[in-house]
Chains A and B, each alone.
With several copies, the nearest count.
Chain A
């Protein structure tokens, strides 16, 4: 069900890249493999620099300006165009620059993309992928860094994917594009520039399957996106503290891999869920509630959750650092969980 990471030495047939480059590689691969794949969004074509981060660089030159289109600043029109093309058999990948701007297109995403298959009784489908970037750490302040995966996970009819490393960025993006239903693919500030070796022939990685980053027996930590990166930073300190931690990168938030998480906590008896999103009414609550219910009597300690305080993302670095769940907080809570 879940794959375990292999070590970091460069294997044959791999290339070192960061997650942004992995996105670019996935898009190139998907567009080459299937001429129904389209890409649209603000500034994404090469005359506009191939995206402000360069994620879509080279695509319009290679696949032409009809399949790869820069758009006006019109998020409703972007998602609407993606939906319509999808209804007609295409597989559009729409970029919404930052996750906070998905709010401008929320009607299109929530009331339309996610519901048209159901409302049409299965006659139509909306196989679109919405790529969007978010996350604190770049001092972009209140309107540019929210993690809203909890909202989308609460919505029926859309899959929510939030990778943490280049291999998963590539493999999961390929799966999102292939998927017959809408997916929101969340790229995150804290994971975007972490490099890794990615197999040159890296293909799709199944949605809905978590990845066990490290096996352990004392405590399970569930994270995703940037927070997996931060949890990995905490691993040495956790080991030093004598804790055998099983770290699970959820990767797909909806539908989430209940089996892998439950199996792990059944083994360890303890769970910490840590995400960058606001803790209150956040996505971690679903995981905590499910595990608390399913493993009642098995848990050796209450499930703990770490997430952002309930405030907008602050600007000042010192406040932004306090906003984000840091590795040392995970270590502290993990130790507390051991009693």
Chain B
């Protein structure tokens, strides 16, 4: 929780890059929301609005070689990693030009060229697979790292335990990143999790573990850079718990009744996006015209991707016989 005194600090370029990734996530999220609301997309949508700092900061340190395994709430993780938006949109629209030809949908988006290896809808299951990718990275003698994203609720399932133990034993280049948004579906963190800080569980695996303010890019930057360096240098995994909040509830349409009075409003007041934007400007890391141009560019990219996705053809029905195995199914 305390940062090492020699913690690396982000320069203006890094901060601007992190902001760009956040903005891309948020603008894309906004477009998805409005498209669903217009009835032009049908899909269960697990927005991560409010959590942008986490994948944006992490992705700042990643290249296309580095890989992620993420979850149903992971569109932000892909967008942060600069996955192209066109095939993303075609996929969530269930079209043939989607990353997965419309077969996977939003909960199973995959895009190996940018390192998006697995998106899972099963709580906890990103972690065991991330280990395997990290094992491969080690066998390859590469310096690539693997990020396993998972929620706070997921820290209570068996796969978490088995994965952290194995990763530590095998010194795998994997970082376990938990955006702790305080809720697992409708269950408050403390009603599902027996420890006050998930990072404490790292002790049980002889692994470094930290709780970071996941809405603070500076804190995130320091911890992530350390964890990534550890992983790349073959020193093994790190558990990062990043505190945050999800503004749109569990799934789009959530009534948020399980939240405390005023809790959501208070969280929204601390929306990291405008706060970070203002601070970037205030501290002179970037100027307004640059940010405006950035936003314009992103919005154009998102609009183009949306139009592309919605204009893409429906997949042919015989797609259900393909990709079950390498060889097409009979009958």
B122 touches A318 (CB 8 A): no
Specify which chain B residues have a CB less than 8 angstroms from the CB of A122 in the assembled complex: 101, 322-323
Known: A84-B131, A143-B121, A311-B321. A120 touches B136 (CB 8 A): no
Q: Is A104 interfacial (CB-CB < 8 Å)?
A: yes
CB of B131 within 8 A of CB of A80, answer yes
Cβ of A310: which chain B residues have Cβ within 8 Å of it? 324, 329
A84 touches B319 (CB 8 A): no
Rounded to whole angstroms, the CA-CA distance of A139 and B103 in the bound complex is 10
Determine whether the beta carbon of A317 is less than 8 Å from that of B186: no
Q: How many residues of A contact B (CB 8 A)?
A: 73
The answer to whether A143 and B108 touch across the interface, beta carbons within 8 angstroms, is: yes
CB distance from B89 to the nearest CB of A (A): 13
Let me know if B118 is at the binding interface, CB within 8 A: yes
**B179 contacts the other chain (Cβ, under 8 Å)?**
no
> Which residues on the A side are within 8 Å of B117 (C-beta)?
84, 87-88, 124
Interface string of B293-331 (1 = CB under 8 A from A): 000000000000000000000110101111111100110
Chain A residues near B132: list those with CB within 8 A. 80-88, 92
Contact A319 B102 (CB under 8 A): yes
| A302 proximal to B (CB < 8 A) | no
Among A69, A101, A121, which residue has its beta carbon within 8 angstroms of that of B323? A121
In A35-80, the 8 Å CB interface with B consists of: 38, 42-43, 47-49, 52, 66-67, 69-77, 79-80
Q: A73-B192, A84-B135, A142-B104 are in contact. Are A121 and B125 (CB under 8 A)?
A: no
| B159 interfacial contact with A, CB 8 Å | yes
Residues of B near A87 (CB, < 8 A) are: 117-118, 129, 132-133, 136
Whether A111 pairs with B94 at a CB distance below 8 angstroms is no
Per-residue 0/1 for A301-331: is the Cβ within 8 Å of any B Cβ (1 yes, 0 no)? 0000000011110111111001100000000
Interface bits A165-183 vs B (CB < 8 Å: 1, else 0):
0000000000000001100
A70 CA to B188 CA in the complex, in Å?
10
B158 to A76, Cβ gap below 8 A?
A: yes
- Check: B264 CB closer than 8 A to any chain A CB: no
Does B44 sit at the interface, judged by CB under 8 A?
A: yes
Q: Give A137 Cβ to nearest chain B Cβ, in Å.
A: 12
Is A157 in the interface zone, CB < 8 Å from B?
Answer: yes
Closest-CB distance, A49 to chain B (whole angstroms)? 5
A83 CB contact (under 8 Å) in B42, B128, B166, B258: B128
Judge whether B315 and A319 touch: CB under 8 Å.
yes
Which residues on the B side are within 8 Å of A255 (C-beta)? 330
Cβ A80 vs Cβ B129 within 8 A = yes
> Nearest-CB distance from B111 to chain A (Å)?
7
**A181 and B325 contact, CB distance less than 8 A:** yes
Say yes or no: B326 contacts A52, CB within 8 Å.
no
Residues of B within 8 A of A181 (CB): 325-326
Shortest CB distance B84–A (Å): 13
Query: Is the beta-carbon distance between B166 and A111 smaller than 8 angstroms?
Result: no
